Amino acid sequence: MIPLRIGVMGLGTVGAGVFQVLERNSGEIARRTGRGLQVTQVSRRNLDAARELVGDRATVVADPHAIATSPDIDVVVELIGGTTLARDLVLLALRHGKHVVTANKALLAVHGEEIFGEARRLGLTVSFEAAVAGGIPVIKMLREGLSANRISWLAGIINGTTNFILTEMRDRGLPFADVLQEAQRLGYAEADPTFDIEGVDAAHKLALMGAIAFGMPVQFDSVYVEGITALHSQDIRYAGQMGYRIKLLGIARRRDDAGGVELRVHPTLVPEKCLMASVEGAMNAVMVQGDAVGTTLHYGKGAGSEPTASAVVADLVDIARLASAAPEHRVPSLSFQPDALQNLRVLSIDEVVTAFYLRLVVADRSGVLADITRILAAHDISLDAVRQRESSHGEQQTDLVVLTHETIESALRAALKDIQALPSVLQPVVALRKEELA
């Protein structure tokens, strides 16, 4: 069989990884696939740098449009990034009859509906294993491995930068700003880290996983997003003393009782005995709860040249196998058949149900705790644990840490308003969500 002819648009770190993995493991991959996979064209603005990498083994062009429209390419790998040029190129490539593999979560989170729709109309595949959790095959696991299950929830550490920062904040007791600076120096955070630290990157990935898990359109705009920039190392310490670690989780949960789904990204307390708590540094992990399988967890590197290339190439292998088969033999991009997607409502954050960690700086006098518990009770919120800590702010102050049982967020917000109005509550209350992941 003739080799699959691959065009890589954007020969940066990941593109180079794809080229190198396909070259280094060509024998192994051909043994698996029964067909060669060959990068025949690459694009990069810096032609010399590209030629240095690929030599005369692939054609080098400066303009990726040439690849998207080339008659000699079967699949394009889009690694340009961003949502403007990448969108144009992907649509152009599809209209020229090419399957598409992309690592671009932002593109699919924002323009997924249009891109998947166009691919479907043309009987082509858009694959994106590399867009979520790097080398861990979570997309395949959700779309195929767990296809017997009704998924009830999934929770992921799906941004390595923030997990690295949180790990360092905990291990070394340093404030967010210091650790961020170090992460930038080490290359774990970008010069402009906004997308990572504000949770946007995780929200992109969560929107994709949620769509696949529940069979709904990609709804990035409806994801509730809260980053880690406001997190105090003090809360990481207090959480640790109560047996919890704080992780930035992307959570998708089916809420049949409310006729919708929760899609949310925020710092979350998780029990330190849970495997998720042990996912350290820049590693990623995704937990999935299905009705038949129970809980599964999938762990690995969420970024980097070759881990991401591993996912891109796995998609290419699938395409090499199925490119000439009829579309009905392929797994649908969003896991469910296009005409079977449901317009599930994404709940507002007010409707979300979780437990909470609260930290209050209060005046050190009697009756304060009684006032607070009375207010929580009035809003139907019950207490799981209370701890008093010496405050670093002054002798007349005390830190009060409260763990609540599960409550609807609107009730918690109403209670916090009342608590904040107490004269003995001296600073804005810190409220973090807590999940048992069981």
Q: Which is nearer to a copy of itself, 22 or 265 (CB)?
A: 22
| Residues 220-259 close enough to bind a copy of itself by CB under 8 A | none
Nearest-angstrom CA–CA distance, 406 and 67: 53
Respond yes or no: is residue 205 known to be catalytic: yes
Question: Contact, 246 vs 231, CB < 8 A?
Answer: yes
Q: What angle do helix axes 13-24 and 305-322 make, rounded to 10 degrees?
A: 60
DSSP secondary structure string, 348-417?
A: PGGG-EEEEEEEEEEESSTTHHHHHHHHHHHTT--EEEEEEEE-SS-TTEEEEEEEE--EEHHHHHHHHH
Tell which residue, 171, 244, 234, 169, has the closest CA to residue 390. Answer: 234
Please pick, among 98, 105, 140, 205, the residue that the annotation labels catalytic: 205
Q: Using CB under 8 A, which of 146, 248, 269, 415 touches a copy of itself?
A: 146
Q: Using CB under 8 A, which of 192, 257, 328, 395 touches a copy of itself?
A: 328
The residue count for binding a copy of itself (CB under 8 A) is 68
The reply on whether position 291 binds a copy of itself by CB under 8 A is yes
Question: Contact, 258 vs 347, CB < 8 A?
Answer: yes
Q: Which is nearer to a copy of itself, 135 or 156 (CB)?
A: 135
Q: CB-hemisphere CA count at 13 Å for 146? A: 28
Q: Which is nearer to a copy of itself, 172 or 273 (CB)?
A: 273
The reply on whether position 436 binds a copy of itself by CB under 8 A is no
The reply on whether position 337 binds a copy of itself by CB under 8 A is yes
Q: What is the b/e burial string over 370-384, where b = at least 16 CB atoms within 10 angstroms of the residue's CB? A: ebbeebbeebebeee
Q: Rounded to the nearest whole angstrom, what is the least distance from the CB of residue 101 to a copy of itself in the complex?
A: 12
Nearest-angstrom CA–CA distance, 239 and 246: 7
Q: Sign (positive/negative) of CA torsion 162, 166, 171, 175?
A: positive
Q: Could you tell me if residue 111 is left (phi over 0), alpha (psi between -120 and 50 degrees) or otherwise beta? A: alpha
The reply on whether position 278 binds a copy of itself by CB under 8 A is yes
Q: Using CB under 8 A, which of 38, 296, 397, 410 touches a copy of itself?
A: 296
Q: Using CB under 8 A, which of 44, 298, 379, 434 touches a copy of itself?
A: 298
The 338-357 site mask, x for binding a copy of itself (CB under 8 A), equals --x-----------------
The reply on whether position 137 binds a copy of itself by CB under 8 A is yes
Q: Which is nearer to a copy of itself, 275 or 377 (CB)?
A: 275
| Residues 4-23 close enough to bind a copy of itself by CB under 8 A | 17, 21-22
Structure tokens at 301: 């590197």
Q: Using CB under 8 A, which of 87, 120, 330, 379 touches a copy of itself?
A: 330
- Burial grade of 339 (CB within 10 A; 0-12, 13-18, 19 or more): exposed
Q: Rounded to the nearest whole angstrom, what is the least distance from the CB of residue 420 to a copy of itself in the complex?
A: 39
Residues 6+ apart with CB under 8 A from 283: 157, 160, 163, 299, 300, 301, 302
Q: Rounded to the nearest whole angstrom, what is the least distance from the CB of residue 105 to a copy of itself in the complex?
A: 18
Binding segment (CB under 8 A) for a copy of itself, from list 46-54, 184-192, 309-317, 391-399: 309-317
Q: Rounded to the nearest whole angstrom, what is the least distance from the CB of residue 338 to a copy of itself in the complex?
A: 9
Q: Which is nearer to a copy of itself, 23 or 113 (CB)?
A: 23
| Residues 147-166 close enough to bind a copy of itself by CB under 8 A | 147-150
What residue ranges in 10-72 does DSSP mark as E strands? 37-43, 59-61
State the amino acid at position 211 in one-letter form: A
Q: Rounded to the nearest whole angstrom, what is the least distance from the CB of residue 131 to a copy of itself in the complex?
A: 14
Residue 174 burial (CB count, 10 A) = 17
The reply on whether position 76 binds a copy of itself by CB under 8 A is no
The reply on whether position 34 binds a copy of itself by CB under 8 A is yes
Question: Contact, 319 vs 125, CB < 8 A?
Answer: yes
Tell which residue, 208, 227, 222, has the closest CA to residue 106. Answer: 208
Q: What angle do helix axes 176-186 and 160-172 make, rounded to 10 degrees?
A: 120
Structure tokens at 200: 């946007």
Q: Using CB under 8 A, which of 177, 292, 370, 421 touches a copy of itself?
A: 292
The reply on whether position 290 binds a copy of itself by CB under 8 A is yes
Nearest-angstrom CA–CA distance, 162 and 228: 7
Structure tokens at 292: 């038949």
The 100-129 site mask, x for binding a copy of itself (CB under 8 A), equals -----------------------------x
The reply on whether position 29 binds a copy of itself by CB under 8 A is yes
Binding segment (CB under 8 A) for a copy of itself, from list 87-95, 139-147, 192-200, 367-375: 139-147
- Residue numbers annotated as active site: 205
Which positions lie near a copy of itself, rule CB under 8 A? 1, 17, 21-22, 24-25, 28-34, 129, 135-137, 140-141, 143-150, 215, 275, 278, 290-301, 304, 306-307, 309-314, 316-318, 321-322, 324-326, 328-332, 335-337, 340
